[in-house]
Amino acid sequence: MKTIITLDELRNARQMLKGPVGLVPTMGFLHAGHISLVRQAHQECASTVVSIFVNPTQFGPKEDLAAYPRDLKHDLALLTPEGVDLVWAPTPEIMYPAGYQTWVTVDEVSQPLEGGMRPGHFRGVATVVAKLFNAIQPQKAYFGQKDAQQAAVIRRMALDLHFPLEVVVCPTLREPDGLAMSSRNVYLSSEERRAATILYRSLTTARNAFEQGERDTSHIRAIMMDILNSEPVARPQYVSCADLNTMQELEIITDRALLSMAVYIGKTRLIDNIILGE
Ligand code: AMP
């Protein structure tokens, strides 16, 4: 496994890789969820590239960029046994050289939900992922269902900009009590960690209602909200029942739907989702 930093090194190393090449973009502080993406890439591709870059342009001015957890040494130790060929860990100066002014915006699908709460977030995500796709030229790129809207934005961008690659979306890995694995879980105190299980409990309770025939999304959202409100430490920001591709809210579920939410547990903002009708 080669770890590289500069663009020149990346281009040289990329030329030596056998195709198809699978890319797993990450912001580091890796956990089993990230590793599950790496394993799927390794299974499906001749070569696997992992990028590690805490992308400043997807953080809002009041968000946790400076505090975002980082541990490159530990990340490399986790990746070493996974058959990864290349790890690219560029600096912010490499990704955004002085005078930088080129952006990728994906219109409608970026606007609701996370896009509504985090203005500019998906512009930063789409821009950095487009740059990763250009630099690494993968045939497949792996993303987590955990960030469902991000996956929808990237799918749209890849289609619209004619990136010749397949966007693969992998299932969300969870802790034994249901909490979705996330680099941000380290921010939680032990009391908050206990309270954080409320996200998955509210999603699964709504799924039970769906399985018993409930199709009215206002009822489904109310079920999720009631459960979240039963936890004093939790402050829900939104709950949603939306179309999987457009992220527009549904009134009635006719086929499949994405149930998603953003919830503050103390100062930590957590997101989670499940798909209904699969
Ligand atoms: P991040 O480092 O948080 O930007 O995540 C990098 C990739 O890993 C994204 O495609 C995420 O959706 C994915 N990911 C994060 N957490 C999980 C998880 N618990 N299960 C599966 N994939 C995940």
pLDDT digits (tens, 9 = 90+) for 208-242: 999 999 999 999 999 999 999 999 999 999 999 99
* Tens-digit pLDDT profile for residues 114-127: 999 999 999 999 99
Q: Whose CA is nearest to atom 17 of ligand 1?
A: 33
Q: Whose CA is nearest to atom 11 of ligand 1?
A: 144
Closest ligand 1 atom to Cα of 28: 2
Active site members: 34
- Ligand 1 centroid, distance to 38 Cα (angstroms): 11
User: Is 179 in contact with 199 (CB distance < 8 Å)?
Assistant: yes
Would you state the pLDDT for residue 98? 98
- Ligand 1 centroid, distance to 270 Cα (angstroms): 13
Q: What is the rounded end-to-end Cα distance, in angstroms, of the chain? A: 37
Would you state the pLDDT for residue 218? 98
Mean pLDDT of 160-180: 98
User: Is 204 in contact with 178 (CB distance < 8 Å)?
Assistant: yes
Kindly list the protein residues whose Cβ atom lies closer than 6 A to any atom of ligand 1: 26-27, 33-34, 36-37, 143-144, 146-147, 170, 172-173, 180-183
Q: Whose CA is nearest to atom 6 of ligand 1?
A: 26
Residues 6+ apart with CB under 8 A from 84: 1, 38, 42, 48, 49, 50
Would you state the pLDDT for residue 170? 98
- Sheet containing strand 234-242, strands side by side: 234-242, 257-265, 268-276
Considering the entire predicted model, what is its pTM?
0.98
Would you state the pLDDT for residue 65? 97
Mean pLDDT of 45-63: 98
Q: How confident is the model at residue 150 (pLDDT cuts 50, 70, 90)?
A: very high
Mean pLDDT of 52-71: 97
Would you state the pLDDT for residue 178? 98
